[in-house]
Chains A and B, each alone.
Chain A
Amino acid sequence: DAGVIQSPRHEVTEMGQEVTLRCKPISGHDYLFWYRQTMMRGLELLIYFNNNVPIDDSGMPEDRFSAKMPNASFSTLKIQPSEPRDSAVYFCASSGTGGSGANVLTFGAGSRLTVL
């Protein structure tokens, strides 16, 4: 398996532009997560899906952020309009339901976003 695949790996954009980050989870995994990592706030859970349905989006910082999962093999995280404070590394992760209730997450390589 190729693991969790994210694109783009790096994105530099100007304030006010729309940004779309993409993720392909591991085949067979029924959970997909979007996290954001900054030095100040660490690794924050933004939203997660189960069987393509959003379960908890309470971590999405503002209405400028939206996420979709149209099918089991693809998800997007969109920021519109982008702001400099959105600069961070965005990770996608996926998991299946582990034994004994332990959900083991596998992370993608991340998308480093810089908003100028």
Chain B
Amino acid sequence: QKEVEQNSGPLSVPEGAIASLNCTYSDRGSQSFFWYRQYSGKSPELIMFIYSNGDKEDGRFTAQLNKASQYVSLLIRDSQPSDSATYLCAFSNQAGTALIFGKGTTLSVSS
């Protein structure tokens, strides 16, 4: 059974701090990894994806991938109250055609 494990939270950080979200996955054959953000009552929206070991940066967001440890993380620098949402980690199936999602981590950024 392919699984994605995330700490459900809530993770609480003050405004301006770095938020660190973590995710582990079970399928060693996975090639691509995704972070989606979901505001309450809304649909998931893509933040970024990563498929190579190491770091990938996009604005205030940095995704980190370690395939040997089957671990992916998302760092949010200078956290803002508008970042308060549930963050979903996902990995692709071996065909690279479908995504398997974790249950998400709820982030709360206080002003």
Contacts and interface: CB of A to CB of B under 8 A. Distances in A.
Question: What is the size category of the interface that chain A forms with chain B?
Answer: 20 to 34
Most chain B CB atoms below 10 A, which of A41, A91, A102: A102
Interface SS of A by simple majority? strand
Most chain A CB atoms below 10 A, which of B31, B42, B103: B103
A59 to B, nearest CB: 9
A103 B100 contact: no
B21 interface: no
23 contacts: A31-B97, A31-B98, A41-B103, A42-B102, A42-B103, A43-B44, A43-B88, A44-B101, A50-B97, A55-B97, A91-B44, A100-B51, A101-B92, A102-B34, A102-B49, A102-B51, A103-B32, A103-B96, A103-B97, A103-B98, A104-B46, A105-B99, A107-B45
Interface of B: 31-32, 34, 42-46, 49, 51, 88, 92, 96-104
